[in-house]
Structure 1
Amino acid sequence: MSQMLALVIVILILFVGDIVAVRTKAWIPSVFISAVLFLAGYWTFFPQDIVSIAGVPPVVATMMMYLLITNMGTLLSIRELMNQWKTIVISLSGILGIVALLFGVGIFIFDLQTVLVAIPPLVGGMVSSIIMSEGAADAGLTSLSVFAIVIYVMQGFAGYPLTSIVLKKEGKKLLGQYRNGQLTVKKGDPASDAGGMAELKLFKKLPEKYNTEYFKFFRLAVVAFFAYLVSAGLAPIVSINAFVLCLLFGVIAKSIGFLEKQPLQKANGFGFAIMALMLFVFDGLKSATPSMMMEILYPLVVCITLAVIGMYIFSFVAGKLLKVSKEMAFAVSLTALYGFPADYIITNEVVNSLTKDEKEKEALLSHMLPPMLVGGFISVTIVSVILAGIFVQFL
């Protein structure tokens, strides 16, 4: 298959996902449709490396991840992170629900190794899935090694539509409050609405004409590189994922005026970066062959079902105690099933389906997007890796 044909096919799949999302007003998220189409392609005529052939090998996707997560940090001020303490508690509660249900119920259905392998991928990330997969393989548990990857790949099939449903309910309620004058746009940082060089306090004497697209990319790359260096430097003492530091350093860089808000969008690179990252995510589906899926279908369905039930129960209780709506609390906990960028994409799709007014969109996003982003990073990027590091020792 030629590079351009591969590129046309994979972008067409992303476009079809968008069409379905628009036509169904986000009741069926684009990421869900795209995942189904990629799975069907891999089971029929796709070459296993179609994403790499199209021009998005893992090294490119990693670069985009560094830039995107650093860029995402500019959406959150330090004040906003402090304000999101309820989100952190709810996210941790959802994770506790997963652990409680799988150990409390799953242990009576499957053996201990299956439960141990299932939990870290269910909490979220690719890194935790790889850790558990390699740990299971080293322990001679071949089927569980495959299970760890497939459960990570497939859990979004439950998370995408459920998140879309609860976010639409939350969005409709918030939109009604905004139209009645009961809801205002949340301001995380007084400087967040400043334009041009006003945001860049460290470059306030630099003429606007020198703040080119390349300068924006350069500053993003510098912050991401610094996050990488710190992560690598701390590795002998404590393991901190570089992507976690990218988010944190993005927040700090925005707060001190080294980065403006959403520099990737302003450098006209956001759309391409999201496309590359989503293709990399769907590239993981190439491991899920039909025979493999049939072999692990039962534990896959049961584990994901128990995880969702656990998240709902525990996030509902946490939401009640913290006076957060059950829809928003459940949506935050569900980010464990997919993380970034799906949390960003689904939230925007839902908001776009509810209103065409830019001020209404801004109001909805200011209330819904920050908790979704923070929730996803607490579970997927941080806690899942910690759990994997602990659980893999018991295989």
Structure 2
Amino acid sequence: MDYPYRVDIGGSATSAIEWIPMDTLYAAVVLLACVAVGELVSSATRARIPSLLIAIIAMATLTQTGVFPADIAEASLFLGIGAVLQPAILVHMGTLLPISSLKQQWRPIVISVAGMACATGLILLVVGLTFGYGTAVAGTGPLVGGIVSTLLTSEGLTTAGLTTLATIPTLVLMVQSLPAMPLTAYFLKKHAKSLIDSGDVAVDHDPDTGAIKLSPEAQAEADRKTLVTLPKAVQESQMVLLFMVVAGGGLSMYLQGLTGVSYSIWGLALGIGCVWLGILPKASLEKANGFSLGMVAIIVIVAVPMMQASLSAIVSAIGVVVVILVVGMIGIMVGGGIASKLLKWDLNLGMPVALTAMFGFPADYLITREVSRSSSEDPELQRVVLDRLLPPMLIGGFTSVSAGSVVIATILVKTL
């Protein structure tokens, strides 16, 4: 494809860079610039404005206004990179979850389910009475889930002959994260601050050696014996680690085809299991230096629906979509808030866990990482905060987006 910004490279026929497809290079530079701007804004606002939100808005604005073509994502090749690295990143997420704390993570599941259930009931009641039952069903699955529930809902509407409503699920999927992400960051920042101020998370140093003293949980994890000890050559080889994580992602895709269970759940389980066995180290993809590029590709994938939707389609359904978003978000927060109170959990953590239904992975990880990074100037304290916030956020997102929303969408479309 041709871009209006194509330039010719001078030089002799033997120039080392003469053959580079500059359309692809410029497309990648533009999208990377959007992500970089998002990072700078997030850093300047100390995560009050999530970088993912800024990146998506920037990409959508550049394409919707015609500054760049709508298929710039395909030209950049980031979609292909994301297809390879997205399953690997899920394995990587599993390697980040502290095994010693997983047994305590049943509360995020309850909170996530409560938020989804309350949102579903409220949308069916309010939107159903206002716009019709079909419209309510069109928005429910996507709002409490992701791509899979959106596809199931769209297919169900088409099968039922409700083709005029088939654009609603996609539009809800496109914009549902925009109001939810800043609110999630706000609550998480308050919770992180309370953890630090109360001394619930801290970095202790040995008075004699000055070395960092691990928490009892972290120390137990560090002292845990594994069945496999990685050879030094493997531990220090970024290429070998990259192969192992990507291979784990490929295995998760294979297991999805074999069992019907989402590759996201398999990837998370494989990451947890491989760390427990000693096959993979913690934060494997970061140690392989492949994480940053993978996350850029994932951000581009998430932004594609906003970049490629027609303005007329957005305008024609924006009213009902806004109502679905408002009603659904209220339902999620009411359900999540009630469950948090009953479980005696801090609302500033329970609310973000419930709200993960509106964006899921990778936004749940990105926002948690940003909040942890902005919580302190001390890198070690940032890590401790991340270890505390990440497990419930990831589990909440997987409960809603990967599992619960699929069940809800499957049931609802059968009632049309």
Same fold (TM over 0.5): yes
Corresponding residue of 1:61:
82
Q: Which whole-Å deviations, capped at 9, do the CAs of 1:240-284 have from their partners, x for residues lacking one? A: 112211111211111111111111000000101101111111112
Corresponding residue of 1:50:
72
Corresponding residue of 2:284:
263
Q: Which moved more, 1:286-295 or 1:314-323?
A: 286-295
* 1:202 aligned counterpart, secondary structure: coil
**Equivalent residue runs for 1:104-123 within 5 Å:** 104-123=125-144
In 1, distance between residues paired with 2:164 and 2:45? 37
| Residue 228 in structure 1 maps to residue 253 in structure 2 | yes
Larger Rg: 2
Q: What code does the residue aligned with 1:245 have?
A: W
Q: What code does the residue aligned with 1:140 have?
A: G
Corresponding residue of 2:401:
380
Q: What code does the residue aligned with 1:55 have?
A: L
Unaligned runs of 5+ in 2: 4-22, 205-212
Corresponding residue of 1:275:
296
**Equivalent residue runs for 1:299-310 within 5 Å:** 299-310=320-331
Q: Is the 8 A contact 1:117 1:132 kept in 2?
A: yes
| Residue 4 in structure 1 maps to residue 15 in structure 2 | no
Structure 1 residue 300: Cα displacement: 0.8
Number of residues of Structure 1 aligned to a counterpart in Structure 2: 386
Q: Which moved more, 1:210-219 or 1:273-282?
A: 210-219
Corresponding residue of 1:354:
375
Q: What code does the residue aligned with 2:246 have?
A: A
* 2:46 aligned counterpart, secondary structure: coil
Structure 1 residue 179: Cα displacement: 7.8
Aligned match of 2:112 in 80, 88, 91?
Answer: 91
* 1:240 aligned counterpart, secondary structure: coil
Q: Which moved more, 1:329-338 or 1:225-234?
A: 225-234
Corresponding residue of 1:202:
228
Structure 1 residue 5: Cα displacement: 1.5
Corresponding residue of 1:294:
315
* 1:258 aligned counterpart, secondary structure: coil
* 2:297 aligned counterpart, secondary structure: helix
* 1:394 aligned counterpart, secondary structure: coil
Aligned match of 1:215 in 226, 237, 240?
Answer: 240
Q: What code does the residue aligned with 2:228 have?
A: L
In 2, distance between residues paired with 1:113 and 1:384? 17
In 2, distance between residues paired with 1:390 and 1:228? 25
Evaluate the alpha carbon distance shift between residue 323 and residue 277 of structure 1 in structure 2; reply closer, same or farther with a 3 A threshold: same
Q: Which whole-Å deviations, capped at 9, do the CAs of 1:322-369 have from their partners, x for residues lacking one? A: 110111110101111111111111112122222111232123212211
Structure 1 residue 154: Cα displacement: 0.3
* 2:338 aligned counterpart, secondary structure: helix
Q: Is the 8 A contact 1:340 1:376 kept in 2?
A: yes
TM-score (ref. length: structure 1):
0.91
Corresponding residue of 1:28:
49
Structure 1 residue 161: Cα displacement: 0.9
Corresponding residue of 1:339:
360
Structure 1 residue 312: Cα displacement: 1.3
Q: Which whole-Å deviations, capped at 9, do the CAs of 1:281-332 have from their partners, x for residues lacking one? A: 1112134322112111111111111111111111111111111011111010
In 1, distance between residues paired with 2:85 and 2:234? 26
Q: What code does the residue aligned with 2:29 have?
A: V
TM-score (ref. length: structure 2):
0.87
| Residue 168 in structure 1 maps to residue 189 in structure 2 | yes
Q: Which moved more, 1:39-48 or 1:320-329?
A: 39-48
In 2, distance between residues paired with 1:231 and 1:146? 28
| Root-mean-square deviation (Å) | 2.4
In 2, distance between residues paired with 1:286 and 1:163? 24
Q: Which moved more, 1:298-307 or 1:346-355?
A: 346-355
Q: Which moved more, 1:334-343 or 1:77-86?
A: 77-86
Corresponding residue of 1:72:
93
Q: What code does the residue aligned with 1:202 have?
A: V
Percent identity between the aligned chains? 30
In 1, distance between residues paired with 2:317 and 2:216? 46
Structure 1 residue 18: Cα displacement: 1.2
